[in-house]
Chain A
């Protein structure tokens, strides 16, 4: 068999040169669009975060003033705390529920496939429509609207996130549970371990990779949440100029809509990007170390 260069690409001199000559056809279109749709806006975003501007053409250098302003913005700090709270609470609930459902649906009960299909459905619905469905229901079921009572807004958002993501995480957990070696479970059974002990000592350690993936996925989903937050409460109620249920993404988008605050908004966006990237990097190293153990 041919030698496979480990992480890099497989190539051969026979086909490499002819492909390279077709650069303009194969790589260039994607690269140009990537530049217009990501790379240039990204670089410009970093550049503008240290400038004061209302449009991209009238930017003046202001140094790190925007960042200082972002840190001193009480609304931004509140949004950070609120986002972290939403992310952590939803992370725990989503993962516990998803694991429980996945565990029950891999016991070989009748109708498992149908139930899996049903649980997955909400995941297909976009945040705006999803939020609107639940806003209609929750606001009618409660004595006052979520936009008036901040804790209704909080739990409403958690319910919506669970409904949307439990089915998704369930799919990943089911894949993990089905990969647990049958002989290990068999051995535990023969040794007389009961259901709980088997779950704790055999199943859980074996699905650790799925748990890591789902934990970080729900964490980043929580931090990046925008659509549902916008539809359910749009940050309301507002107390002393600060939206009580405003999350980071919404706070940034709202700051952009004030023309003389755009520099601050862009600085907030860079901080937000650094935060999300940090979470992703921790995830990557966590997943890697788990793979080594196996």
Chain B
């Protein structure tokens, strides 16, 4: 894919014919329509509760416009404050992703370089785990997590590492195979132990895969609903998807304007993340698909 992208950009700038200009115009319109759902939610997040329900598609007017009050109320309304859910989401996403990146890259290096029967067994189990749907383990995983006290936001990253190890190990092993072993041998001859060889030689070389896996894990953990829903104690801990689903469950009694504001707030980190590293995200997500 890397080479094909380069080739495409190296192609001479083709002439803009009338057909192409029409096509650009058509896609400009489609792109606007494509973003319409988000725009509608954004628009409604500035409207007073009653107006969100009765006239979703109307622009805010002098009567319905409430400024930022939905955002301010949204933070605390309901039985559970949104900022707490957002905090747990951020914490769980960052720690889980960090833990997965560190542990699975080390495991993948061990698996490729030691290559004994046990490593091979672990590798194939990891590959196998990638096809198993979550429903297969939903009940037993929630039970195991509870028994092992992994049911708090502080310990749930361990569950994410366990259930998400498959894809990460698979992608890292694929990459380690392409690293010339001579470099590691040279480090070893120069007196580096395995720990130093890994952290000062191998780990920096893994950067492209670290980014790809990191993007995939961030997207997964941030958006995940069922796993934290089953594992965490709902009364004490919520994440953003759980919070949103909990609000929608109490439909009718809920402040819709504030809910729209919360939707926008939950989209904001993703949009910022996307705008700041669009290229890496698209590459990472595509890598996960093509290899999986």
Q: Is A239 an interface residue (CB 8 A)?
A: no
Contacts A44-B144, A120-B282; A26 near B107 (Cβ below 8 A)? yes
| B-side interface size class | 35 or more
Contacts A15-B185, A22-B195, A136-B41; A34 near B20 (Cβ below 8 A)? no
| Chain A residue contacts of B158, Cβ below 8 A | 33, 36-37
Contacts A121-B274, A132-B248, A133-B38; A45 near B177 (Cβ below 8 A)? no
Question: Which one of B60-68, B73-81, B206-214, B263-271 is at the interface?
Answer: B263-271
How many Å from the CB of B80 to the closest CB on chain A?
16
Q: Is B171 an interface residue (CB 8 A)?
A: no
Partner pick for A37 among B7, B13, B163, B245, CB 8 A cutoff: B163
Q: Is A81 an interface residue (CB 8 A)?
A: no
Q: Is A19 an interface residue (CB 8 A)?
A: yes
Q: Are B244 and A128 in contact (CB under 8 A)?
A: yes
With the chains together, A56 CA to B182 CA distance in Å? 50
Q: From DSSP, what is the main secondary structure of chain B's interface residues?
A: helix
Q: Are B185 and A269 in contact (CB under 8 A)?
A: no
Partner pick for B223 among A108, A127, A231, CB 8 A cutoff: A127
With the chains together, A124 CA to B148 CA distance in Å? 32
With the chains together, A15 CA to B158 CA distance in Å? 29
Which of A30, A129, A175, A273 gathers the greatest number of chain B CB atoms within 10 Å? A30
With the chains together, A31 CA to B21 CA distance in Å? 56
Q: Are B223 and A172 in contact (CB under 8 A)?
A: no
- Interface residues in B159-211 by Cβ distance below 8 A to A read 159-166, 169, 173, 176-177, 180-182, 184-185, 188-189, 193-195, 197-198
Q: From DSSP, what is the main secondary structure of chain A's interface residues?
A: helix
Q: Are A26 and B162 in contact (CB under 8 A)?
A: no
Q: Are B162 and A128 in contact (CB under 8 A)?
A: no
Partner pick for B225 among A26, A55, A126, A172, CB 8 A cutoff: A126
How many Å from the CB of A16 to the closest CB on chain B?
6
Q: Is B70 an interface residue (CB 8 A)?
A: no
How many Å from the CB of B61 to the closest CB on chain A?
17
Q: Is B241 an interface residue (CB 8 A)?
A: yes
With the chains together, A118 CA to B37 CA distance in Å? 13
Instruction: A124-B271, A125-B223, A179-B1 given; name 6 further pairs at CB < 8 Å.
Output: A26-B106, A55-B143, A120-B282, A124-B273, A136-B56, A224-B133
